[in-house]
Amino acid sequence: MSVEPYNEDLRELEFLKQRALEYRPSDPLVENYHRASIEIAWDALVPAPEPQATDLLRVEVRGVETLSNHMASKVSAAVQNAVVRMDRSLKNPRSVNSVIRPEDRLRTEVVQDGAQGNVMFFRVPSPVTSTSAPGLDLGLIPGRASTALRELITILPENAADLRSFVEEIDQAAPLKRVAVQNISEAAKLSEQGISLDLITSGGSIRSVLDRDSAEALDDFLKDRETIEDTTTVSGLLDGFRGTRRVFYLITNSGKEIAGSVEPDMLPRVRHLAGRMVTAQLSTTQWRSHTGRLGPKAYGLISIDLEAETPQLFEE
């Protein structure tokens, strides 16, 4: 029968184990056998603790050699706040409550683990599942902080050159997702070249870059204003994805190019239909300022199918 580690009974046994290990027989072979026997008995008694997988977040403030204390504090706060708000948005997309409580931070723990030069490192605990049935091992499951970070970095642009697609997507995002992105944009404005975020997990890595110009343009875009929402149906060539992971491009039959956001569950279908003629139902969002000026339309994909063939009027 195994005993849970670190209970009171085990503390006394651990003390006896250490006393036994202090005994050193004069014969080296006997000593090795003595120590090995004790360790084997201990391992049989005490189950090994579940391994704690840890993802790594690497945040680089680009264009500076060394981080000041002020800069490091701002970046750390931006990351922590963005993770909490993204997590809340994933749990409740309609939530607009951006207030952060201590218990929120505990649920989405991101631990600053040091800095070197212009780079800060954060540990992101990722719990490990236990075997739920004999012979069934579900492997690693990302923690809430890791899931929120992955979503955040996926929304942010892969590089500084694709601001348009980034803005098209963020305009369609849930309210707290936009707030989370704005938290990161505040950190990006600390340096002219902005910041990069790399999330490194056991399954690979994902990276985004946001420079100061893009961050300032984003802030201007998301300022308070009236929003006009509608739907439309378009047909044309689905040109697939380009520089971003969640923005599709469609060239209409009239030659107009449309870029729009795609929800994660529709990504496989868009990839499958890329390069083909399609008909898509889109949501449209357009802002109107207090002066009446209209902003560009942002599109979001509602549904997409192959374009229906036009029936012939006469048989050949």
Question: Cβ distance 120 to 59 under 8 Å?
Answer: yes
Q: Which pLDDT does position 129 carry in this prediction?
A: 45
Average pLDDT for 197-202: 89
**pLDDT higher for 228 or 199?**
199
Percentage of the chain beyond pLDDT 90 is: 28
pLDDT at 224 > cutoff 80 = no
Q: Which residue, among 104, 4, 109, has the nearest Cα to 52 in the 3D structure?
A: 109
Confidence of residue 306 (pLDDT cuts 50, 70, 90): very high
Average pLDDT for 82-111: 86
Q: Which pLDDT does position 279 carry in this prediction?
A: 94
**pLDDT higher for 13 or 94?**
94
Q: Which pLDDT does position 83 carry in this prediction?
A: 95
Q: Which residue, among 11, 6, 15, has the nearest Cα to 47 in the 3D structure?
A: 6
pLDDT at 126 > cutoff 70 = no
Rounded to the nearest 5°, which phi and psi values hold at 260? -150, 160
Q: Which long-range contacts (CB under 8 A, 24 or more apart) does 246-255 make?
A: 246/154, 246/155, 246/169, 247/165, 247/166, 247/168, 247/169, 248/301, 250/278, 250/280
pLDDT at 15 > cutoff 80 = no
Burial (Cβ within 10 Å: 0-12, 13-18, ≥19) of residue 107 = middle
Average pLDDT for 248-272: 88
Q: Which pLDDT does position 1 carry in this prediction?
A: 31
Q: Which distant-in-sequence residues (6+ apart) come within 8 Å of 25 by Cβ? A: 31, 34
Average pLDDT for 246-262: 88
**pLDDT higher for 311 or 202?**
202
**pLDDT higher for 312 or 61?**
61
How many CA atoms does the CB half-sphere of 71 hold within 13 Å?
A: 21
Q: Which pLDDT does position 214 carry in this prediction?
A: 85
pLDDT at 104 > cutoff 70 = yes
Average pLDDT for 148-166: 80
